[in-house]
């Protein structure tokens, strides 16, 4: 059977674009891609990139305060959200153009419209056209959700933040994951009175417990009103803002309320269930390690599969798909070791197992140091950095590394190389320290802080 295309990709985010580009440019496949909104997906348009630029913006008040303490005659005025927002939108437009340009140069046909799956080898465009393809890749990502009971109260999600026309004077952030915690630090740094509710005992569930506690303490010390064990009891529009009644105290009015309590795969209405595919409870598309669904011609990568919802993971999955299907080399991305950074203030970089995960697998030694780094200690700052290694006692392999510090994301990338290669504690020990740096602590910790297991 002759197909219109060898591959049709639904979704123009990081994973879909990488798969389309590699299939077309490296393997000569005839490829088309449909995107109903803006090229670049969550990361470029409403996620990692604009968020990181907001992180940069929110850090300047502390930087100026540090400059003053170091002897500079430095001053900082008010933050001009409008000027920042205008420049931000221009940058996102530039990046979107780069994504589109890369597809054009690879020879990918772009359809700027919604597409759904019409059959094992057919895609239906929003204008009614049906296009045939030997392979279909779904890369439609995910979206933040507001709990159903609060959807009529005018609450925001993280997508809405980048469309704000002005900064609120106060904001309530509901949630304890990395998105909620990052935006709590961002708004606090921009001068917004910031409150964060989390119903659990500690933020950043799933990460190393010691690191979670350290970050929460630092966030509160920086001015975030973090209320643990707190949920919403009632909520309504009132006095030009949103009145919220918490489970732990009296009601308060906030200019804005942001829900960062979860995301859902964008699988609704794609026609997948009509093919006989049974979606996960949250709408995730089930796939095998090669990103193939139960329908052999249909694949899925990225957040829509709800495996590990990170941009670099989607990119690796998309590339592996192209290598497997069009390159003749079966490849899959191993989700076992994923370095990542959380852009709280201070930053949190992590790779490998947490202390809790590691000790459940066998005997481990834990090396941990918390200290005031030179730059801050010199001017009397109380902020503390934390460096932590989790080591298997039997093999001496470093199972996990956790860093809480300024620029922790940059440090964990390099630690991720070592741990992915299987580095041992002896490898770390014989690595010469770079002095004076914070990171030298990773190679100078000689005595275990504590041990678990026989």
Q: Can you name the residues that pair with 125 across neighbouring β-strands? A: 115
Q: How far, in Å, CA of 415 to CA of 351, rounded?
A: 8
Q: How far, in Å, CA of 232 to CA of 251, rounded?
A: 10
If 0-12 CB within 10 Å is exposed, 13-18 middle and 19+ buried, where does residue 271 land? middle
* Residue 115 backbone dihedrals phi, psi, to 5 degrees: -135, 145
**Beta-sheet strands, E only, within 27-67:** 31-34
Measured torsion, CA atoms of residues 212, 371, 403, 204, in degrees rounded to the nearest 10: 10
Residue 156: DSSP 8-state:
B
Residue with tokens 């930087």, as numbered in its chain: 63
Told to judge if 435 belongs to the known catalytic residues of this protein, a careful annotator would answer: yes
Which residues, in sequence order, are CB contacts of 294 under 8 Å at separation 6+?
A: 276, 277, 278, 286
The answer to whether the CB of 294 falls within 8 A of the CB of 286 is yes
Computed on alpha carbons and rounded to an integer, the radius of gyration of the chain in Å comes to: 24
| H or E stretch covering 218 | helix 209-221
- How many angstroms separate the first and last alpha carbons of the chain? 63
- Among residues 222, 335, 435, 452, which one is catalytic? 435
Q: How far, in Å, CA of 269 to CA of 116, rounded?
A: 7
Q: Can you name the residues that pair with 397 across neighbouring β-strands? A: 424
| H or E stretch covering 180 | helix 178-189
Q: How far, in Å, CA of 45 to CA of 97, rounded?
A: 12
- Residues designated as active site: 435
């Amino acid at each position: 059977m002759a197909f219109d295309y060898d591959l049709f990709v639904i979704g123009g985010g990081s994973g879909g674009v990488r798969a389309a580009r590699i299939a077309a440019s490296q393997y000569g496949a005839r490829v088309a891609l449909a995107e109903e909104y803006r090229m670049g997906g969550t990361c470029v348009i409403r996620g990692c990139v604009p968020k990181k630029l907001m992180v940069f913006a929110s850090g300047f008040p502390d930087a100026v305060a540090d400059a003053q303490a170091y002897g500079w005659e430095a001053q900082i005025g008010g933050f001009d959200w409008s000027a920042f927002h205008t420049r931000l939108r221009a940058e996102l437009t530039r990046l979107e153009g780069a994504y589109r340009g890369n597809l054009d140069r690879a020879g990918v046909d772009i359809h700027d419209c919604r597409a759904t799956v019409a059959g094992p080898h057919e895609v239906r465009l929003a204008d009614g056209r049906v296009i045939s393809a030997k392979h279909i890749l779904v890369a439609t990502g995910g979206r933040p959700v507001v709990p159903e009971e609060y959807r009529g109260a005018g609450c925001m999600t993280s997508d809405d933040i980048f469309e704000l026309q002005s900064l609120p004077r106060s904001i309530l952030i509901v949630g304890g994951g990395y998105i909620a915690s990052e935006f709590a630090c961002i708004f606090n740094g921009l001068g917004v009175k910031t409150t964060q509710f989390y119903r659990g005992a500690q933020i950043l569930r799933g990460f190393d417990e010691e690191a979670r506690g350290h970050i929460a303490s630092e966030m509160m010390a920086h001015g975030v009103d973090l209320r643990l064990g707190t949920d919403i009891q009632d909520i309504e529009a009132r006095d030009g803002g949103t009145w919220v009644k918490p489970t732990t105290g009296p009601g308060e009015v906030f200019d804005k309320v942001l829900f960062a309590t979860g995301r859902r795969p964008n699988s609704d209405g794609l026609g997948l269930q009509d093919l006989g595919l049974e979606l996960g409870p949250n709408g995730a598309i089930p796939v095998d390690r090669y990103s193939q669904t139960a329908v052999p011609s249909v694949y899925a990568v990225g957040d829509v599969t709800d495996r590990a919802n990170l941009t670099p993971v989607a990119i690796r999955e998309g590339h592996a798909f192209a290598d497997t299907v069009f390159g003749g080399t079966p490849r899959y991305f191993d989700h076992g070791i994923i370095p990542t950074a959380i852009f709280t203030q201070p930053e949190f970089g992590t790779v490998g197992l947490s202390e809790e995960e590691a000790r459940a697998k066998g005997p481990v030694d834990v090396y941990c140091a918390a200290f005031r780094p030179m730059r801050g200690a010199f001017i009397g700052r109380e902020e503390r950095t934390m460096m932590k290694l989790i080591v298997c006692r039997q093999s001496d392999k470093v199972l996990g590394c956790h860093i809480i510090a300024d620029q922790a994301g940059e440090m964990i990338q390099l630690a991720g190389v070592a741990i992915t290669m299987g580095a041992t504690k002896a490898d770390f020990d014989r690595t010469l320290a770079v002095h004076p740096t914070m990171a030298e602590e990773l190679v100078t910790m000689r005595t275990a802080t504590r041990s678990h297991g026989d």
